[in-house]
Structure 1
């Protein structure tokens, strides 16, 4: 992490993750179209999206901590007035006994933890030798990608796929397909903002798991990030998961773990 303090790095990753959140809302394959709102109340950012009232991802309070304890009721009222259920996204620097007690008294519990990682700054790893072939998605492969996503989601109407297709071939949102033989085995994306990147949307179809798809996808995206001159590449995983282990083996370093508090 060089001379950059851990607090600065946490803020940098949180800002990048927020940009990804807003982009994901725009390209989401859902009806109605998502129209996220962001309100600032004290040091807290209130992310709200009325088409998915129970979504932990789109209805989050970011930045809440000791300085905003006196605003907790106001924050909850903003969500309640829109029939939304908030999730409090709290990194370790803001997690205190007082914060945990206040949330618990309002009926919130810590339900999940997410670890944010940064790629090492050495040479990009080489993909392990395998039968996996990685292709970057362009206008010719966009339909294959979207059909794969539709399959993962259990079916998406064709008119939505066609309308949202342009989002999946943008220069700042690069998508990749992993093939085993002639079959699509997995997908992954690289979101870019200025000189930073974020690995997201990793998925391997069940019948191809354990064959090196994600390691090949990660290596390819890190190589692309190096080629583009990106200064940092981030991702998030559930702590201790297979994805966490893959990232660790490919040189990613843990920066921080955030906790998600939801209404019990």
Structure 2
């Protein structure tokens, strides 16, 4: 009972049977186009709309529009190929689902810069913030810009760099000594401090960690690395103090609070 054909742009063009009412309900663009007066058709053939999209894109797009399972989108190239027509033809519901896919953990963890560029290209404000946050885990200077940046210009990359610098400075300012468990060897009772006096200075692991953490935040202003056990224990090892590990373990509550404060820094780009 289809009443219209969508013809793909391939050399071996494919026709997709569709329904005007479904297209009109899904897209203001099609609603307007299909409501325009048409010349009388004396043939029994269905009207054809020549589409600029290839068959694989039209097929996937129709899967999103009709009440059937959504197609599998396995890479960002496929996602962008659908975002372009979904945006152009104003398929609002399709766009909403594609936007959710764009910021899925698999893409954010492996290609955060590209997700950022795609979000900027289509003016997805919320997804732009999410992607910018994901880029905090990488050292941007070590990455080649993905080709998607050609669609958005240098200003958006500079905006991301400013966000990284702003976030790094704010996180570095939070790295100050707090309620640390003293180390028995380097700043406690066995460090030459009389039991009647207040212990002085930080344990050596903290001094080492503080320096390393500030350096790491300069490159990757994220809490993911500096509060990881590998990073913390390396600081203990570099401090060359027998009892610093006990001090570190006793200071977990303070470190957890410090991490939480950093994670709560403003995330909007």
Same fold, TM exceeding 0.5? Answer: no
TM-score by length of 2: 0.23
Compare relative contact order (CA 8 Å, sep 6+) and give the higher one, 1 or 2. Answer: 1
Kindly indicate which of the two structures has a greater share of residues assigned to helix: 2
TM-score by length of 1: 0.23
> Which structure has the greater CA radius of gyration?
2
